[in-house]
Structures are given as structure tokens and as C-alpha cells.
Amino acid sequence: MPRTFPLKAADRILFFAPHPDDESLGGGGLVQKAVAAGAQMRFVFLTNGDRNPWPQRVMERCVFLDARARRRWGTQRRQEALNALAILGVGEPAEAHFLSWPDQGVTPLLMAGDERALETICEQIAEWRPTHVILPAAEDTHPDHSAFFVLAQIALDRLRRRGLNVRHVLSYLVHAPQARLALSVRHLTLSLAEKAVKRDAIQAHETQMLSRRRFLAHARDVEEFHLPLKPDARHPHHPIVSADQGRGALRLKLRLPRKFLRFAGATLHLAIETVLEGSLRWSLPLPGRSARARLTDTVTGQPGRWASVRITGRTAVVVLPIAAAQPLGQLFAKFDRRRLFYDTAGWRELPVDLDRGPKVRLHRLGTAVVE
């Protein structure tokens, strides 16, 4: 059942926003309640939202956008974020940090194994010492949002091993409402006044008001936050149905989303943290019929080992060699076949098996069976 979570003056909240506007869309009510409670807040904006061409073309009445135009747009969006925080009651100067990562470029940072990006996240968390980390959800279909979730989970695990634990980690969904059905919800009920202020903060993002109706729909009576799903949790909407490890191999069962006719054209991405070998990043283009397919190491750009793909109807079983990567620390996977801008689904964390002792199988409904 949904539960509320109280905020108090001793709390220190670290809010990660992939773009200027996510602070208002995903957490405008939370920010107001934190300010009212006297909690301390820091906001980290990953990108400046400067790769936003169609709204920029319409609002600036121009067709061609060069680097200078994108920088100008990003500067305006940064200022809009600061204006929105002021509306939400955050004192000036706001504790806001802009990392200026590439807009729509968080997935490439993740798949390149970018250590500088990971350590930046670690530094932000270690410096602020938050009681609460608020971040975008893995289930979000915006690629920047879901990829950052993976980066943050890797960073949080590193910090735990260094002796720093964050008490509360909560995620918010801006895109992909159906994913909410799978998540454990914590909610904040907003008063009429808080809803009105959240609407005003959203509208402070003037560059985004071509999507006014869609944006203002986020000013609801209840603001939802979610506990990150455990690797073996039930996840009925994800195209990665199940995972099975054993004998040096990782077997993934995939279900083709209804909107697609074939697996061909899709890519399976893997982000792996190992105990001994560090970060591994692999991509596997999926074939249209049963065949062997070659992995690509996206850190080096070099071809990797071969995987086998067995396709039966709308189901595929992918067998990946992972013996050389074991023991594993963390394992994340994504079925990537984008239409236009948004992903089919976000990332999914999978349970790791050190391949020593019982084999753990994750069923479609999320029950873990020890064999």
C-alpha cells in the first residue's frame, strides 16, 4: 500500500534532475514540503537541456541551430530552473549545481564507462551527506533519466563499500505512467496551495510551454516517489522477462513489445560492475531469427565474444558468456529499440550470482527460485 514519508529539519535532501524542469515536474511538492520543514536541499542538474530543437525552433522562429544557439537555449533553461526553485520557496542563492553533461548524452556516458561522471556523482553525495537522495526512475522511458538511475546505483554501491550509506533513496517518474504499476509507492499529498505553486513553478519553464498541457498534468493531488525495485522484484511490463545465471553464462529471456514485429533492429545493452575487472559495458544487436550475434565492448569499441540468440515467435532467449567477468557486483540490462525520442523501456537491474553455490533463477513474476 502507498505510504507517506515525513520530512524534518534535520533532513538533507539531494535532488538529481536530468534536465531543468525535472525539479518541478518530479518534485515540486516535495521541495515545498522540505522548505516548510526546514530541511536542507541541494539540486544537481545533469544537463542544461540544450538539445531541445523543436521547441527552440518554434519559439525562436529559426530552422538552423548552431552550437551558439544551443548554448543560449541552455543558459535560458538554467535560469528557468533557478526561477522555478525560487517560486517553490528555495532561498537564494539556491544550492544548485549544473554539471553541463550532454543533453541526451547520459546513456553514452554510462556505456562508455565514464569514470569521471561516476566520481562526480560520488563526490556530490559524499560532500552533501544526504539523508535522502531523490533521482529519476530506472523505469522512465527518457533515456537520460533511466541511464542516470544506473549511474547513481553504481555510485551508491561504491560509496557503501567506502563506508557511506544513504538512508533513503527514492525515485520519481516523469515519463512512462504504466511503469508505476510495478513500483512500491511513497506519496506526498499536496494542498490546493501547494498544487498552485507547483503549477507556477512548472510554468516558469517558459521554453517548454509548447507542452503546457502535458507539463501541467504533473501538478496532481499526490506526488509519487518510489523505492528502487530489487533485482528479483516483479516487473510485468519490462521486455526483459527473466534472468538465469550458471556455468559461466547469463541467459536472458526477452519478450517483444507489441508495437514491434521483429527483434531485428533492437539492441540489448548491458552495464556490468565486476569485483575484479571493474566496469564492463556491452551491446548486442539482436538478429531477426535465431543466430549467433557478436557483442561489442562499448568502452573500447572493439568486438567482443559471441552470444547465441534463439527466437521463437515473440520470445528470444539470449545466452551471453560471462565467466571471465565473474564474480559480478552489479548487473543492469536494457532492451533498446527506440521510436522517435523515447525508449521502449528503461533499464532493469538483474540479480547477480557469483556462480558459486546455488543457482538463482528470476521468474517472469519476480519470484526467485533457488535450485
| Geometric angle at alpha carbon 29, from 117 and 8, rounded to 5° | 85
The model's confidence at residue 62, banded by pLDDT at 50, 70 and 90, is confident
The model's confidence at residue 370, banded by pLDDT at 50, 70 and 90, is very low
- Over residues 158-201, the pLDDT tens digits come to 999 999 999 999 999 999 755 555 567 888 999 999 999 999 99
Query: What pTM does this model have?
Result: 0.91
Q: Three-class SS of residue 52?
A: coil
In this prediction, what percent of the chain has a pLDDT beyond 90? Answer: 67
304 torsion bin: left (phi>0), alpha (psi -120 to 50), beta (else): beta
Q: Among 293, 306, 237, 305, which residue's Cα sits nearest to residue 264?
A: 293
The model's confidence at residue 357, banded by pLDDT at 50, 70 and 90, is very low
Mean pLDDT across the chain: 89
Provide the residue ranges of all domains of the chain, joining segments of one domain with +.
Answer: 3-227, 240-370
Which residues make Cβ contacts (< 8 Å) with residue 176, sequence separation at least 6? 139, 140, 141, 342, 345, 346
Is the pLDDT reported for residue 235 higher than 90?
no
Q: What is the pLDDT of residue 30?
A: 98
Cα maximum dimension of the chain: 63
For 22, 30, 31, 212, the CA distances from 200, given in Å and listed in that order, are: 14, 15, 13, 11
Q: What is the pLDDT of residue 359?
A: 43
The residue type of 211 is: S
- Over residues 16-30, the pLDDT tens digits come to 999 999 999 999 999
| Element of type H or E holding 171 | strand 168-172
C-alpha span between 331 and 270 (Å, rounded): 7
Cβ atoms of 343 and 369 closer than 8 Å: no
Domain 240-370, CATH number (from 2.60.40, 2.20.28, 3.40.50, 2.60.200): 2.60.40
Cβ atoms of 167 and 132 closer than 8 Å: yes
Report the range of poorest mean pLDDT among 30-34, 86-90, 210-214, 234-238. Answer: 234-238
Q: What is the pLDDT of residue 348?
A: 94
Q: Does domain 3-227 have CATH number 3.40.50.10320?
A: yes
Q: Among 164, 221, 156, 225, which residue's Cα sits nearest to residue 190?
A: 221
Which residues make Cβ contacts (< 8 Å) with residue 282, sequence separation at least 6? 269, 270, 272, 295, 296, 297, 298, 304, 320
Cβ neighbours of 358 (radius 10 Å): 10
For 201, 243, 285, 302, the CA distances from 77, given in Å and listed in that order, are: 13, 41, 36, 38
Which residues make Cβ contacts (< 8 Å) with residue 59, sequence separation at least 6? 207, 210
- Over residues 120-168, the pLDDT tens digits come to 999 999 999 999 999 999 999 999 999 999 999 999 999 999 999 999 9
For cell 538554467, name the residue.
78
Q: What is the pLDDT of residue 122?
A: 98
Backbone angles phi and psi of 65, in degrees to 5: -120, 115
Q: What is the pLDDT of residue 362?
A: 41
Average pLDDT value for residue range 64-93: 91
Average pLDDT value for residue range 274-300: 95
Cis peptide before 177 (omega within 30 of 0): no
Rounded to the nearest 10 degrees, how much is the dihedral formed by the CA atoms of 186, 192, 197, 202?
Answer: 70
Average pLDDT value for residue range 208-222: 88
Q: What is the pLDDT of residue 127?
A: 98
The model's confidence at residue 211, banded by pLDDT at 50, 70 and 90, is confident
Average pLDDT value for residue range 87-102: 93
Q: What is the pLDDT of residue 363?
A: 41
Partners of 280 in beta bridges:
272
